[in-house]
């Protein structure tokens, strides 16, 4: 079993999930902002996703970390590596809460998780599955150095696959 890491960047602490993270997570997943992830989701569906994000650490040695502003301690989003039967490959995903968009937190957190995946966990490959209408996430994937891979297997036939390595 892979221990759940805590990663740090210049401004952020990426830490294991806690039960108190549920309320903000639930609000996001139940809102229109979850549309590019297949939502909005019911509370029951969102709870299943929340638990899956955490359980993947024990099952696959990867999973989600919450993104905290180091200075304030405020939770601003999530970054994670998804694995398991719903994902053809290890998948890097991210979100930030609406009130902190545009500050570069998603990129900073995703860069840290990408380094961890490659250097520490040594995953054989890493992709991001992105809804074609989600231009902001696609742009971030490109800024992270990922390239569109039209031949890659995907969980949904409409997803775009951005290959990080």
Angle (CA) 54-132-129 rounded to 5° is 30
Task: Provide the token pair at 21.
Answer: 């993270």
Residue 34, C-beta contacts closer than 8 angstroms, at least 6 positions apart = 28, 40, 41
Calpha distance 140→110 (Å, rounded): 9
For the stretch 46-104, pLDDT in tens is: 999 999 999 999 999 999 999 999 999 999 999 999 999 999 999 999 999 999 999 99
Predicted TM-score (pTM) of this structure: 0.96
Calpha distance 21→60 (Å, rounded): 22
State whether residue 135 is helix, strand or coil: helix
- The residue written with tokens 């297949």 in the block is 38
Calpha distance 15→124 (Å, rounded): 23
Edge-to-edge strand ranges of the sheet holding 12-15:
7-8, 12-15, 64-69, 75-82, 91-96, 127-130, 160-163, 147-148
For the stretch 13-54, pLDDT in tens is: 999 999 999 999 999 999 999 999 999 999 999 999 999 999
Calpha distance 39→28 (Å, rounded): 10
């Amino acid at each position: 079993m892979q221990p759940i890491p805590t990663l740090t960047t210049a401004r952020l602490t990426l830490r294991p999930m806690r039960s108190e993270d549920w309320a903000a997570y639930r609000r996001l997943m139940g809102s229109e902002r979850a549309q590019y992830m297949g939502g909005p989701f019911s509370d029951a569906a969102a709870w299943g996703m929340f638990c899956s994000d955490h359980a993947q650490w024990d099952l696959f040695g990867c999973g989600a970390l919450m993104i905290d502003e180091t200075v304030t301690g405020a939770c601003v989003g999530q970054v994670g590596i998804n694995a398991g039967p719903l994902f053809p490959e290890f998948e890097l995903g991210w979100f930030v809460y609406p009130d902190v968009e545009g500050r570069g937190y998603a990129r900073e957190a995703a860069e840290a998780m990408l380094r961890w995946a490659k250097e520490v966990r040594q995953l054989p490959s890493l992709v991001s599955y992105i809804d074609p209408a989600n231009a902001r996430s696609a742009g971030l994937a490109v800024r992270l150095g990922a390239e569109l891979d039209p031949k890659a297997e995907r969980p949904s036939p409409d997803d775009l696959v951005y290959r990080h390595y």
